[in-house]
Structure 1
Amino acid sequence: MLCPSSEQLVMGATKLTAHSWDQEYDLLVLPLLEDEQPAYILYRLDSTNNQGYEWILLAWSPEPSPVRQKMLYAATRATLKKEFGGGHIKDEIFGTTRVQTGISMGTKKQTLQGVAFPLHRDAVRALEQFREKRLTYVQLEIDFPNEMIKLSSTVPTELKDLPKRIPSDSPRYHFFLYKHNHEGRYLESTVFIYSMPGYKCSIRERMLYSSCKSPLLDTVENHLQIQITKKVEIDNGEELTSDFLYEEVHPKQHGDRQTLTKSKGPAGKRGGPQDGTSPRERWR
């Protein structure tokens, strides 16, 4: 546990573990949270990558804490990640209340492996109609009580309507039939959009939506046989301009037949970055 003090981070506490990470999370982490003291907690997982053990970074910033402490805390976060080694951090949790920092046992056991929640039959039917181009838009959401992915919307959607389909306070999965012209050819491209409005969502929502994403795409691509041209991740619907979507599907540095690219480079003016790269890296 690290606490911002004066102009540096100081060690607040350390704990030894004896069991698996999911068994001891609540016991070791939650008691460290003070009502008026921001802190960073680095919690080691049992999994490893090529750099060693993977960790969860818990950023704790309680509402009652003094403004000066909050400012100092916010200013040190990037430095902490850099010095610790960003490659070691598997997940990040941000919380202002203890409820936001809690992770259910089911989530803890599955979050780093990917959660294969089943698709509700209505969602499957809608995706099949989308594959046949009888629908232009399908929105899916997680049904938490029943642990499945259900249909949320199939309202007819054109490009100009797309930003309005993105909820501002909850995550969603979207499948959009992007109709456009490219180099004199008319194309209909399937774009998968994962919308995640940051910390407006609970930690449980963020972790489950992230964990369910890959198994969902595996089902859609390999079982329902829907060919996805591009996968993007956004924070809000305002990002979905016509120029943005066109440049995601047709990056200037690649031909229109090069798909599923990982775009890199600095962000430019939305809708028209001069170097032809995507405004942000969109898929991992």
Structure 2
Amino acid sequence: MSHQSGITASKSLCEKFAEMKDGHIRVVVVVIENEKLVCKEEHNAERTFNQDFDKMIPPLVENNHAAYYFIRLDTISELNGHNWLLITYISDEAKARERMLYASTIATVKREFGLTYITQEIRATTRDEMSIHSLHQHLHTQATPPPRTIREEEMFEIHQREANADIGINTRQPTLQGLKFPFDENVIEAIHLFKKHHVDYIQFDIDHEKELILLSHSEAHATPEHIRKHLPDQQGRYHLYRFKHGFNHQNFESILFLYSVPGHRSHVKQRMIYASCKESVIDNIEKKFGIIFDKKLEISDSTEFTMEYLIEQLHSEASGNTTTSLSSSFAKPKAPSSHGRRRLIKTNDNSDE
């Protein structure tokens, strides 16, 4: 399994994650130390979720440092046992590298613990957001539908009617064209770091259930060969890459948008979703963040992603001049001109005549 930042859980944390499923632990704080995810603090359940949260969480929060907070809820799932809340706290006051590292490791943390156990997830950036009052406010905001204009209300009603309409032989089904999924907070943070040249490579994936563009991987410095190792064999991805290279005795920093899709090795539905969201992702990056792409590429095989391929795509005109001169010197000679009317010779297949 590939991890988006290369950070993995320590053996002791894996054991702690297994112990947490028993139900006696209320809070576990996970941090990154020496390129490993480790358990920094833990507290057993004493009272209700609200009471334990208000008592235990605020003293554990450090203004200048990020952390992951696993807090057991009082609700229980029939399949998985106790449900958990995950709060990813990435302080605005933390260093840029630390923010980037914690943001790009969230997916790993959730996978190591078990995605099915996490029923609620929140991102916090300030100490004030780490209170029970802010938590309930956030949950209430999530549950409340966003306000709509009169025009949006009309469109919503039209869509509802279309969804409930009877389907006949001549009925056209809605397609996946032009899907627009919002960026997750970690994606936005990573793109800001990209603009500041703290990050040169960002990889995005799609959570089609939550309808979000998520951060899959990011790095400060990355070569095409190194990026190729992080390309999934059976899943699509979007990539934002600052390709630093030399060509014709000049240095370039080309901004690339890449869409990698592994063809027949991925599910048809997934390919449709990635293809449908591509234009909106590009549009979002260009218009909201002011990033102009030098080239937009699509690759179906990870072996194509090489230094030579990217240079060829970026400097095809310059390299094309050489190709043209070579091809012209080996041009096919003209056919000899014919004199007079062409004669038609009829052969007789009958050997007896």
Normalization by structure 1: what TM-score? 0.51
1:141 pairs with 2:205:
yes
2:307 to 223, 242, 255: 242
Instruction: Give CA deviations for 1:170-227 in whole Å, capped at 9, x if unaligned.
Output: 0000111100122322111111110000121112101100000000000001111111
2:235 maps to 170
Q: Which has the higher helix share?
A: 2
Report the Cα distance in structure 1 between the residues aligned to 2:324 and 2:268, rounded to whole angstroms. 36
What is the identity, as a one-letter code, of the residue corresponding to 1:148?
L
Distance 2:214 2:229 in 1: 20
The aligned counterpart of 1:20 is 171
Percent pairwise identity = 29
Within the candidate set 212, 216, 223, 1:152 is matched to 216
Over the aligned positions, Cα root-mean-square deviation in angstroms equals 2.4
Map 1:1-40; keep pairs closer than 5 Å: 18-22=169-173
Instruction: State the alpha-carbon separation in 2 of the partners of residues 227 and 182 from structure 1.
Output: 21
Instruction: Judge conservation of contact 2:242–2:253 (CA < 8 Å) in 1.
Output: yes
Mapped partners of 1:223, 1:141: distance in 2: 19
Paired amino acid for 1:177: R
Tell me the TM-score normalised to structure 2 length: 0.42
Match of 1:218 in 2: 283
Pair 1:212–1:251, CA change in 2 (3 A) = same
Q: CA deviation at 1:252?
A: 2.9
Structure 1 unaligned blocks of 5 or more = 1-16, 23-108, 256-272, 277-284
Distance change in 2, residues 1:187/1:253 (3 Å): closer
Q: Deviations over 1:104-149 (max 9, x none)?
A: xxxxx2412x101000011011011112211011000001210110
Q: How does 1:70-219 map to 2 (within 5 A)?
A: 109-112=174-177, 114-155=178-219, 156-219=221-284
CA distance in 2, matches of 1:216, 1:233: 14
Question: Equivalents in 1 of 2:233, 2:281: separation in Å?
Answer: 22
Tell me which amino acid in the other structure corresponds to 1:181: G
Structure 2: where are the runs of 5+ without partners?
1-167, 326-353
Counterparts of 2:180 and 2:319, CA distance in 1:
33
Which structure's CA Rg is the greater one? 2
| Letter of the structure 2 residue corresponding to residue 192 of structure 1 | F
